[in-house]
Structure 1
Amino acid sequence: MSSKLNDNGIIESSRLMLPEHREAYLAHMHESNRKEKPILDEQEWQLIGQALMESYQERVAITLTVFDPFDDSVMRGVVDRIDQNRKEIKFVRGDEDYSFIPFKNILSASI
């Protein structure tokens, strides 16, 4: 009987985890995958600006890489509007699919 109570027997292996602890653990593991936003140099900002202006003026589709703390997203579409006051663009990906993307979140742009 003593072998079941000791040395990883029934009592040792019947540990429980509270739901609150499990949620906290999963949240911690999710946050540990967070990454820092890279700092772009002036030349990269100029290339991004040129691609955005060309897409806006000539209605040419471009590919944007947008920063996300967990997984960067790559989008293909056309710049519909450049808002200098709000510092964002309206990026159209389809007939009715669009999003507003802040300048600071754009990592790269190519035609």
Structure 2
Amino acid sequence: MNKLTPGSNIRWESSRMMLPEHVDALRAQQARASQIERPLLDEQTLDAIGRQLNEAVVKHCFVTLSYYHSGSIRQKKCTIDKIDPIIGEIVINDAFGFSWAVPFQDIISIG
């Protein structure tokens, strides 16, 4: 049996392709569906994170920082370089020597 035999599906063979716009729309929809909302932390958790941040700055050791960014939770193994309460962010250095600024409200946990 091939495409030319009676009862085959040759009429619909050309409709298998998808336009690039449709592919982009499907990918965008999947990305939106996989996003999560920023978790809300209670006061005790925020106090514990503050103590751990201060301890990490004093000891200058590597910690695992979990933070919210663009609909997902990311983790970085880093050192805490500076805490800036005026701007409301911390400056971290990752294992490769790159500096990053992470806002306080995005920090989920530190370990």
**Scaled by the length of structure 2, what TM-score is found?**
0.82
Name the structure 1 match of 2:7: 3
2:34 equivalent in structure 1:
33
* Structure 2 equivalent of residue 43 of structure 1: 44
CA separation in 2, counterparts of 1:2 and 1:95? 64
| Mapped partners of 1:49, 1:82: distance in 2 | 10
Unaligned stretches of 5+ in structure 1? none
Aligned residue-pair number: 106
Q: CA deviation at 1:49?
A: 0.2
Q: Does the CA contact (< 8 Å) of 2:37 and 2:71 recur in 1?
A: no
Q: Secondary structure at the match of 2:52?
A: helix
Match of 2:91 in 1: 90
Deviation larger for 36-45 or 64-73: 64-73
The percent identity for this pair of structures is 28
CA distance in 1, matches of 2:60, 2:105: 22
Q: Within 2, Cα distance between the matches of 1:69 and 1:86?
A: 20
The residue number in structure 1 matching 2:107 is: 106
2:58 is matched with which residue?
A: 57
Q: Which residue of 2 aligns with 1:80?
A: 81
2:47 alignment partner, SS class: helix
Question: Is the partner of 1:73 in helix, strand or coil?
Answer: strand
RMSD: 1.9
**Paired residues of 1:81 and 1:90 also in contact (CA < 8 A):** yes
